[in-house]
Amino acid sequence: MINVSEVLQHCSEIHVVLMNGKTLTDGASEGLESIVSQQYHAHWMLRHNGSYDYSPNSIQAWVFRIDDWISDRLQELNIECGSSSSLNTETPGLAFERLCNLLLDLKTLEDGHPVETELAGTRQVRQQELAICMLQIDDISQALQVLLDDIFAGRKRHRSYQQFRMYNDPEMNAYLHQAERRLAG
């Protein structure tokens, strides 16, 4: 049902768009590829702007949207798990979040232009980092694909969890605090 490799390929295409100075627009599509692309874009913005955003378009918010999207699909398809089905410690939204971060790391490592005077040891370190990053992407992608297949086959339970700390607390989240003040007049 969900092909992790295709979703990650879409993120690579988004990377090219962002590298060309364009930004993503909120598309009408609410499919998983669109949501993960927005999550990738949030990571991109974090890397290039250097500030963490607690707004509804933050990285953490996209994790929740991915998990909620999966919950909605499971409900639409009437997929239920038995009470003995296990639950993973990491949700698909969190796995996609880690993959988006690793994809940006990979692009950064790939885009590193070696200089002729670069020491052989530095080149070797970069190649090792590149190999580790690619291995992590492959391992997490495969594990995520197995998890999604198990969830949609009813072998694993899926739950969407929300953070109950500063993400949802106007006293600790400046974005929500400002929004409350605007609503209050």
CA distance 36 to 55: 17
**Share above pLDDT 90 across residues of the chain, in percent, rounded to a whole number:** 35
Statement: residue 57 has pLDDT above 70? no
Statement: residue 40 has pLDDT above 80? yes
pLDDT mean across residues, the chain: 81
Q: How far is CA 44 from CA 49, 70, 96, 139, in A?
A: 8, 24, 14, 22
* Residue 87 and residue 59 in contact, taking contact as beta carbons nearer than 8 Å: no
The count of other CB atoms within 10 Å of the CB of residue 92 is 24
Q: How far is CA 114 from CA 105, 106, 121, 124, 126, in A?
A: 17, 15, 12, 11, 10
pTM to 2 decimal places = 0.79
Q: How confident is the model at residue 98, as a pLDDT?
A: 93
> 142 pLDDT band (50/70/90 cuts)?
very high
DSSP code of residue 153: T
